[in-house]
Structure 1
Amino acid sequence: MSEQQRDLAGYGAEPPRAAWPGGARVAVSLVLNYEEGGEQNVLEGDRASEGYLHEIVGAPPVTGGRDLNVESMFAYGSRAGFWRIHRTLAAHGAPLTVHAVGQALERNPDAARAMGAAGWEVAGHGWRWIDYRHVPEDVERADIARTAAVIGRLAGRRPVGWYTGRTSANTRRLVAGEGGFLYDSDDYSDDLPFYVEAGGRPHLVVPYSLDANDFKFLIVHGFTTAEDMLAYLVDTFETLRAEGADRPRMMSVGLHCRIIGRPGRIRALDGFLKHVAQRGGAWVATREEIARHWLATHPPAG
């Protein structure tokens, strides 16, 4: 199916049996969005300051000037939040996929090297953390290539996954046509990977999640405390685990350095990892591992 069409049927009543390693009922994918240093800023030639996903919910961007408060909130993510998340994951021995903005990594190479040293998968997340809907196709193509090169240089390995988040009509075709990516995650429509047609051939999509995601701390009527997020993650996991007795599922958990990295929120991640370990039945994996398993176990037709 072309990425320009909508598929409202998907797998229907009989999704494929995922056959996750070890007979796991749920493949759990932890994703850390690393964006700090790539957000909107007039210093970058942008019209206004960043107005999205910071602690002052609903505050309008500053047009034609800097918002030093917002800049410092983003800086918290790279200066402190990232390392708190790093320590938490290391304590659990949990694998992770990073959605990394190229410019953000370039501005904090120590974090990039720490990702590589930890064995995390580092996937592309655009050159900057911007909306690509109105970015010219040739610029977006160059940004994809530039991001892949920076990740390879700083994290030690070229990315095989991609997630823009705010895509253009060209994004998936450009990613598929680049030739070095196994999958993209610019989709929220399923509990399992699936194939679409992109650039005239099958292309794997490993869907992501905006519901089991810490960004809900920064929206009205979202999470307020760590217990709110933990309860939601546990409920999601338990539902998928129960369904997975028959047909295994996949669960994505979205994280951000400047959000879950705050001391009052990190307990949601720690508590969830403890719950998953205690309950069993989960394969905690990178998105690359999930993609490679799917490609081998459920190759595209033809």
Structure 2
Amino acid sequence: MARHLVCLTFDFDVVSGWIARGMTTPTPMSRGEMGLIGAKRILALLAKHNIRSTWFVPGHTIESFPDAAKEVVDAGHEIANHSWAHIPPAMMTREEEEADLVRASEAIIRLTGKAPRGYRSASWDLSPHTIDLLVKHGFKYESSLMGSDYVPYRARRDDVVKLGEPMILGPETDLVELPISWTLDDYPHFEFVRTPATILPGLQSADGVLRNWTDDFLYMKRDFEWGVITYTCHPFVIGRGHRMIMLERLVETLVSEGATFCAMEDAMEEFLARERRAG
């Protein structure tokens, strides 16, 4: 029987991403704090439609805004590791990355009473050490890679990539990859960011993004007997009024098309069960 899973995921960064970029003046801080308002709107929408989702929450958010983090837990949503300081792993040494990873998990354990099963890196930029560290620390799934769109796969370690030479693929691990895409992330579509070096224009029409996001699901439904699609949102981005209307329209449309909404840990378990049945 055809079955098409939808994972709504929320990177609850609040101010951590701006701090990691060195943008700590009052305006970017207030911009991040909008995520506290957006989170309440999202939780109300998810409750209205009886949807369980996954929230990737940096340790900085948990420790800076504990009441907001607890509201997500109390609503029954999965909490996954999104680093402590929201610094991309590729910018850290192995020792720094491991310390940040462990510190983030410890914050989640204090919040939820259990270790996180999933991980998503800040800025989706893994280091050469990330997969090894996730396996070492008992994570079950990862969601920062883009090697597929609707079908989970096993993350590899120790690829050899050198300029001018063929790529040598490393061995697969037990870590399940639940792939993502910038096209299914609200941030590049909607956020205007200006720095001395770059401009991210953002500010696209929500209607256009809604059509793209809907069509990606419809393609999966048409061409795949089973699949998972992951949408990535940030409460300070998607939480704006017209975008909340867009998000609810997306939910309503996908429900009418037969989608099954679930947390990422549940999608992972279903993938593993299918894998076992296939032998």
Q: TM-score, normalised by structure 2?
A: 0.84
Cα drift, residue 258 of structure 1:
0.6
Identity of aligned residues (%): 26
Distance, in Å, in 1 between the alignment partners of 2:236 and 2:83 is 18
Distance, in Å, in 1 between the alignment partners of 2:155 and 2:214 is 31
Aligned ranges 1:1-302 → 2 under 5 Å? 23-41=1-19, 49-50=22-23, 66-78=24-36, 80-164=37-121, 165-179=124-138, 181-190=139-148, 191-198=150-157, 201-215=173-187, 216-218=189-191, 224-244=204-224, 247-280=225-258, 282-299=259-276
Deviations 1:36-75 (A, max 9, x none): 132243xxxx7x633xxxxxxxxxxxxxxx4221111111
Distance, in Å, in 2 between the alignment partners of 1:193 and 1:103 is 29
Distance, in Å, in 1 between the alignment partners of 2:112 and 2:241 is 26
Is residue 223–residue 229 contact of structure 1 (8 Å, CA) maintained in 2?
no
Is residue 225–residue 265 contact of structure 1 (8 Å, CA) maintained in 2?
no
Is residue 140–residue 174 contact of structure 2 (8 Å, CA) maintained in 1?
no
Question: What is aligned with 1:56?
Answer: none
Q: 1:237 to 1:122 in 2, by over 3 A?
A: same
Q: Please tell me the residue identity of whatever aligns with 2:90.
A: R
Cα drift, residue 178 of structure 1:
0.9
Q: 1:221 to 1:138 in 2, by over 3 A?
A: closer
Distance, in Å, in 2 between the alignment partners of 1:186 and 1:288 is 15
Deviations 1:84-123 (A, max 9, x none): 1111111111111111111112111112211111111111
Cα drift, residue 240 of structure 1:
1.2
Distance, in Å, in 1 between the alignment partners of 2:249 and 2:212 is 12
What is the aligned residue count? 255
Question: What is aligned with 1:58?
Answer: none
Deviations 1:148-190 (A, max 9, x none): 11112113432100011232221111011112x1111121121
Distance, in Å, in 2 between the alignment partners of 1:232 and 1:223 is 15
Of residues 190-199 and 96-105 in structure 1, the stretch that sits farther from structure 2 once superposed is 190-199
Distance, in Å, in 2 between the alignment partners of 1:135 and 1:299 is 37
Is residue 16–residue 60 contact of structure 2 (8 Å, CA) maintained in 1?
yes
Distance, in Å, in 2 between the alignment partners of 1:266 and 1:195 is 33
Q: Please tell me the residue identity of whatever aligns with 2:206.
A: A
Question: What is aligned with 1:15?
Answer: none
Distance, in Å, in 1 between the alignment partners of 2:277 and 2:152 is 11
Q: Please tell me the residue identity of whatever aligns with 2:238.
A: I
Cα drift, residue 248 of structure 1:
2.0
Q: Please tell me the residue identity of whatever aligns with 1:205.
A: E
- In structure 1, runs of 5+ residues without a counterpart are 1-22, 51-65
Is residue 131–residue 156 contact of structure 2 (8 Å, CA) maintained in 1?
no
Is residue 9–residue 230 contact of structure 2 (8 Å, CA) maintained in 1?
yes
Is residue 186–residue 238 contact of structure 2 (8 Å, CA) maintained in 1?
yes
Cα drift, residue 209 of structure 1:
2.4
Query: More helix by proportion, 1 or 2?
Result: 2
Q: 1:204 to 1:300 in 2, by over 3 A?
A: farther
- In structure 2, runs of 5+ residues without a counterpart are 159-170, 193-199
Question: What is aligned with 2:165?
Answer: none
Cα drift, residue 32 of structure 1:
0.3
Distance, in Å, in 1 between the alignment partners of 2:126 and 2:118 is 15
